[in-house]
Amino acid sequence: MGGVTSSVAAKFAFFPPSPPSYSVVVSESSGGIELRMTDVPERGNVDVLKLKTKRGTEIVAVYVKNPAASLTVLYSHGNAADLGQMYELFCELSLHLRVNLMGYDYTGYGRSSGKPTEHNTYADIEAAYRCLVETYGVKEEDVILYGQSVGSGPTLDLASRLSRLRAVVLHSPILSGLRVMYPVKRTYWFDIYKNIDKITLVWCPVLVIHGTADDVVDCSHGKQLWELCLEKYEPLWVKGGNHCDLELFPEYIRHLKRFFSAVEKSARLKNRSGPLAYNGDKHRLSTDCRDKRRHSTDRADYSKLSTDCRDKSRSSVDRREKSKKNIETGRRSTNTIDQPEKARNSIDRFGGMVRSAVLCNIDCFKPNGATRVRKSCQK
């Protein structure tokens, strides 16, 4: 049945750029043989990798190093984009957020082999995560998963199986593939990227970013996912933001910086008796941790990953519920969105740098709209 689901998904969900925006060549250096991407600026702090997945494909990944970083972002990009198009954004995010960042191309995207399917993307993100752990020595508790649009699917699939993640960022996320096209109220077996069912299995803080004028994935998707989060962070609803231009709004990088700063200062409790405790920006956290026991029926595929999913103690629920009203009141006072008519000079010139990059993460599930959205993004 899973194979049928992936086959259906591949017919209407995946639009890899054709031709790819980059190539990968082998070059010799003082350190030996290394891979290099063409058609992008060459940087000394970027590793180019080819990773084998458990489904037999080989994907291309980049690892952007920041010597000041204590956290590492694993970024799953949106549809109709590849690493060549995302390269500059990855480098800028690594610099301004002070993180190491790994981005990867899904099977069938860029110079990755094979054909894209839902389950291949799950194997792709697992391969990238394993590379971080085994090659770069990154600890699970220092990883932030970032999923954009369709990338929210593999991001939440992996996040639902890792109990010690530091945080998750969902950028223009989808509730599920079918819900992008139809306002269905239940999950069908042939649906793909069932994020609506997986978000409740994620214990770490979750930041949701969505544009209020998104005409590809309605903002209601992001809002419903945020409501279902067990451990919320103040969301960012970008007024006037569409599906593929949120990076151009100055509040985007400002909000990310606040979130990453709070996450970096956080102290992960060794026991699972309560939500993550922050040393700063306490008012931005929601302690709306619902009394749900974590359970997953499909852990077998990730048996080698960390599955240390401890049940949360219920002793702190009453205390959190008592403070919930005050916290919600505080959030309403701080959850204002910068108006787009304000000066668009982004912090640290971030917006201007992003404008020069091709950042189209185009139409998730609407083939007829792909060309239209691509043109609007490139204006």
Indicate if the pLDDT at residue 40 is higher than 50: yes
Band (pLDDT 50/70/90 cuts) for residue 318 is very low
Question: Is the confidence at residue 204, as pLDDT, over 80?
Answer: yes
Q: What is the mean pLDDT of residues 244-272?
A: 83
Res. 38: pLDDT tops 60? yes
Alpha-carbon span 132 to 137, nearest angstrom: 6
Q: What is the pLDDT of residue 81?
A: 95
**pLDDT, position 112:** 98
In this prediction the pTM is 0.74
Q: What is the mean pLDDT of the chain?
A: 77
The reported pLDDT for the residue numbered 359 is 43
Using 50, 70 and 90 to split pLDDT, how confident is the model at 9? low
Higher pLDDT pick, 312 / 233: 233
The answer to which of 76-80, 91-95, 143-147, 286-290 has the lowest mean pLDDT is 286-290
Residue 88 in tokens = 């500059």
pLDDT band at 342 (very low <50, low <70, confident <90, very high): very low
Q: Indicate whether 270 pLDDT > 80.
A: no
Q: Coil, strand or helix: which one is 187?
A: coil
Q: What percent of the chain has pLDDT over 70?
A: 66
Q: Which of the residues 94, 112, 149, 160 is marked catalytic?
A: 149
The yes-or-no verdict on residue 264 having pLDDT over 60 is: yes
Q: Which of 175-184, 190-199, 228-237, 314-323 has the lowest mean pLDDT?
A: 314-323
The question of whether 283 is a catalytic residue gets the answer no
The reply to whether 214 belongs to the active site is yes
Q: Indicate whether 226 pLDDT > 90.
A: yes
pLDDT over threshold 90, residue 115:
yes
Query: Which of the residue ranges 183-192, 293-302, 320-329 has the most confident prediction, judged by mean pLDDT?
Result: 183-192
In contact, 250 and 346? CB cutoff 8 Å: yes
> For residue 333, is pLDDT > 90?
no
Buried b (16+ CB within 10 A) or exposed e, 341-354: eeeeebeeebbebb
Considering the candidates 214, 218, 245, 363, report the single residue annotated as catalytic: 214
Quick: pLDDT tens for 361-370: 433 334 333 3
Distance CA 304, CA 309 (A): 14
* Closest to 81 in 3D by CA, of 358, 352, 353: 358
- Which of 77, 221, 243, 255 does the annotation list as catalytic? 243
Q: Compute the average pLDDT of residues 307-322.
A: 42
Closest residue by Cα to residue 77 from 16, 138, 9, 22: 16
Q: Residue 116: which residues within 8 A CB-CB, separation 6 or more?
A: 10, 14, 16, 106, 107, 108, 109
- pLDDT of 32 reads 78
295 is catalytic: no
Question: Does residue 249 register a pLDDT over 80?
Answer: yes
Could you tell me what percent of the chain has a pLDDT over 90? 59
Burial letters for 92-125: b for 16+ Cβ neighbours within 10 Å, e otherwise? bbbbbbbbbbbbbbbbbbbbbebebbbbbbbbbb
Instruction: Categorise residue 80: left if φ over 0, alpha if ψ from -120 to 50, beta otherwise.
Output: left
The yes-or-no verdict on residue 323 having pLDDT over 90 is no
**Mean of pLDDT values over 4-25:** 76
Q: How far apart are CA 368 and CA 373, in angstroms?
A: 10
Residue 172: left (phi > 0), alpha (psi -120 to 50), or beta? left
The mean per-residue pLDDT over the stretch 26-38 comes to 85
Q: Which two tokens stand for residue 314?
A: 């219920």
What's the pLDDT at 174?
95
Q: For 92-113, how does the pLDDT look when each residue is reduced to its tens digit (9 = 90+)?
A: 999 999 999 999 999 999 999 9
Q: Give the per-residue pLDDT at 73.
A: 98
